[in-house]
Structure 1
């Protein structure tokens, strides 16, 4: 089934203990659509860039089957830019520089050919903009998945809570779940979030896996132990792309299939961190992805003798 992703396409400049990069392709929607491209072929993008954004990077998205009819290129303006530096533990980072540029006045226009998309992924951006997208869909999608972050919980809390009433799945990390609810216990935090509107909550825990909460059921997905993590930038968005990409491919939003989607999302995120930016997820094979998923299965498979 068709997937629509709305979010940022951007430039990133990164520094980790393993090295540094100048401007490379980044942005939430970039990682989401690239990840989802390995699962669904009806993969549509709404975003905005400046005229400094190279055609070669747009061609990269197109080569992965991403429909860029909804990618606005603003003449005389610059693309959103983020620069960050990671600490030695790779779990914490400092934002060095942010240039909002075209994202400061992002007005997402949904092309007519996208209006029938059954799966909507709201990549991380201001909740007011995300809510605008939901309201501009002529037909409500079958599933709306929302990603957010600590900044919006802090400075746009009212907008975020209004949006939560209109989405089906919220994806956030453990720190953000605690910040949103004021509850350190993640099980209670998930219950509080579900009471705000979403039927399903996914709490990412980085190197400790992810938790899926749906109604009264919980699924705990492991994280794959990796020898080296070069760059965690975009890993959460890559997870989201694998998750919703699998759901769109199978057109099955049951709890059991969401569990599989969490594993596929986790597998895609584990590739993402192995190189800088989106480099590692640009040329994956189906065999590589399935082998990685099998590794996740082995991590949690066991037998019981009574």
Structure 2
């Protein structure tokens, strides 16, 4: 089943201790779409400016991503410039220029309004609500957010929560949103706000999944070198929603598998700069690492206990 995804397509300048890239295709929607397309059809909704390169539109099309609702508007494409510290869990946003995305109000196409699976990337709660108001009867809605929106439109975000099934946030955002420092308490508090599932991303420490009756912890895939963490959270969401859409439904087992696929996809993204890993990645690569991930985390408890 297809996913309709709404978010930002941007041009990024990224500085890390390992190097710099300038004017690279990025934005939350780019990472999400290029990751989720491995699992099934993806239809994107975004605005870009007159400086948007035709080869970048072709990049999406050549990978089967539906760009009918990628709207070209007068002005500049969203631009972000970030610098990561030696500890790449810490970054500074040096430049954020919204460009044509600043006053963009997404309008879904008729077939997109009938979508079963919807992903709302880290855009404003107002835009997220605007999109949801157009979708007729979605099976699963997942949303992401960032610190900026929690600090600047908390009422709007709280209003959105009962309308979504899955919320993905990092540990800092979970604490800020709930006022709870302990992440277990924070995850439970998110559920009380209305979301059915909370996925708390903890970078190199993995992910915590909170459901009404259970909790699931997934470690991060161990990497010797991380070059660029940009987009890892968006790729994680792509793996989660991709597997759910491929499965056509959600239960605890399917959700846990989806979280592992999300962790696997996110692990590829950080190995190179920008979206580059997602351009050369294959389904065989994903499956190989997924199987290795399962092997890595399987304690063979029953086998050891029988000896």
- Cα deviation, 1:245-299, whole Å, max 9, x if unaligned, reads 1110111211110100011111111000011000011121221111111221122
Q: What is the 5 A alignment of 1:267-286?
A: 267-286=264-283
Q: 1:86 aligns with which of 80, 84, 87?
A: 84
What TM-score comes out, normalization by structure 1 length?
0.97
Deviation at 1:2, TM superposition (A): 1.7
Match of 1:28 in 2: 28
- Cα deviation, 1:72-129, whole Å, max 9, x if unaligned, reads 0003x10000001100111101111111111110110101121211000001111111
Match of 1:166 in 2: 163
Match of 1:255 in 2: 252
Match of 2:4 in 1: 4
Q: Does 2:23 align with 1:56? A: no
Q: 1:245 aligns with which of 239, 242, 251?
A: 242
The whole-number CA distance in structure 1 between the counterparts of 2:95 and 2:18 is 20
The answer to whether the Cα contact below 8 Å between 1:222 and 1:299 also exists between their aligned partners in 2 is no
The whole-number CA distance in structure 1 between the counterparts of 2:76 and 2:267 is 31
Task: List gaps (5 residues or longer) in structure 1.
Answer: none
- Runs (4+) of structure 1 exceeding 4 A deviation are none
Match of 1:153 in 2: 150
The whole-number CA distance in structure 2 between the counterparts of 1:2 and 1:87 is 37
- CA RMSD in angstroms comes to 0.9
Q: Does 2:124 align with 1:126? A: yes
Deviation at 1:156, TM superposition (A): 0.6
How many residue pairs align between the two structures? 303
The whole-number CA distance in structure 2 between the counterparts of 1:96 and 1:43 is 31
Give SS of 1:51's match.
Answer: coil
